Amino acid sequence: MTTVGKLLVFMNLVFSLVVGAFAVMDYTARMHWKDGYEKLSAQYAVAAGTAAAHKAEADTLRKQQADLNEKLSSSGDPELKVAKPEDAGKVAQKAADMLRSRADAIDGLKKQVTDKSREITDLKTSLAKYSSAQVGAVADVNSRGEDAKKLVEQLNTARVENNRLVLEKNSIRDKMTTAEIDKKAFQARAEQLATDNQRLEKQVAAYKAAGGGNPSALAKMRPTPPENVEGLVKKADGNLVTISIGSDAGIQRDHELQVFRLGTNPKYIGKIRIVQVTPNSAVGEAVGKLSGKMQENDHVATKILGGN
């Protein structure tokens, strides 16, 4: 082999060694690049997960901040609002003060509840004593109730007897009043009869003196009103009254009628003489002294309670 051939073989060997070295280096580089890519992918995945976690945590914190601001704003205090991070400490201090104040108020309320519970216990004890006393009182009341029933029965009996006595008293009073009216009526009638008798004696004497046939003397003799005629006073004016009966009932001038009052206060008033007559009414004038003032709705009649 010549020198050139040897040289070519040597160069071919060197070239082969260089190519092999390049191949080894390429393979090594490719393997290092894959491992780095995988490491970078893993690191990226970790970073993405960390970013997602941070984002979720940030979203949670923002929501908590919004909820906290909403709850704090409902208290009506504008200072209890977290607008920026540096406000958190101030708001926390303010909230802590409010919570401390409310805790003190709650402690006060708890003390009041304890006191009220003690009062309720005392009241229950007193109630138990009163309940025991009430049992005895109920028994006493029941016993007194029986006595009260007996007293009520006695009272009802006495009330019935009292009512009977009152009715009897009223009946006796009415009879006495009626008798008094009859007495006054009879007295007035007797006085009137005596007056009429004197007047008639004078009329008879005048009639006899006139020869017994003098028409004027005969006309002076007073007419007698019909029996059982009765009416009411429609209008009273001093000694004059207007009555509800007239000539249709047989009333004439110079007739004399009795005046009396019935009802709760019966009373005999006196007598009137008719001075003016119409078919349905008449005007009468008081005769002699009256026992009282004549009033509307007083009774007028020929007789009083069957008297003359």
**In this structure, what CATH number is given to the domain that contains residue 250?**
2.40.10.170
Is residue 175, in this structure, part of any structural domain at all?
A: no
CA–CA distances in Å: residue 4 to residues 14, 68, 274: 15, 93, 200
Is residue 95, in this structure, part of any structural domain at all?
A: no
Question: What pLDDT, on the 0 to 100 scale, is given for residue 81?
Answer: 62
Alpha-carbon gap, residue 63 to 69, rounded angstroms: 10
User: How many structural domains comprise the chain?
Assistant: 1
Question: What pLDDT, on the 0 to 100 scale, is given for residue 303?
Answer: 82
Is residue 204, in this structure, part of any structural domain at all?
A: no
Is residue 268, in this structure, part of any structural domain at all?
A: yes
> Residue 239 contacts by C-beta under 8 Å, 6 or more apart in sequence?
285, 286, 290
Question: What pLDDT, on the 0 to 100 scale, is given for residue 43?
Answer: 81
Domain membership of residue 261 as a residue range = 223-308
Q: Which two tokens stand for residue 52?
A: 């997602």
Is residue 75, in this structure, part of any structural domain at all?
A: no
Rg (C-alpha) for the chain, rounded Å, is: 68
Is residue 289, in this structure, part of any structural domain at all?
A: yes
Question: What pLDDT, on the 0 to 100 scale, is given for residue 308?
Answer: 46
96-149: pLDDT as tens digits: 777 788 788 888 888 898 888 888 988 888 888 877 777 877 888 788 888 888
Is residue 291, in this structure, part of any structural domain at all?
A: yes
Is residue 264, in this structure, part of any structural domain at all?
A: yes
Alpha-carbon gap, residue 232 to 269, rounded angstroms: 13
Could you tell me which residue, 71 or 47, shows the higher pLDDT? 47
Alpha-carbon gap, residue 109 to 120, rounded angstroms: 16
Say whether pLDDT at 82 is over 70: no
CA–CA distances in Å: residue 57 to residues 50, 66, 238: 10, 14, 117
Largest CA distance in the chain: 234
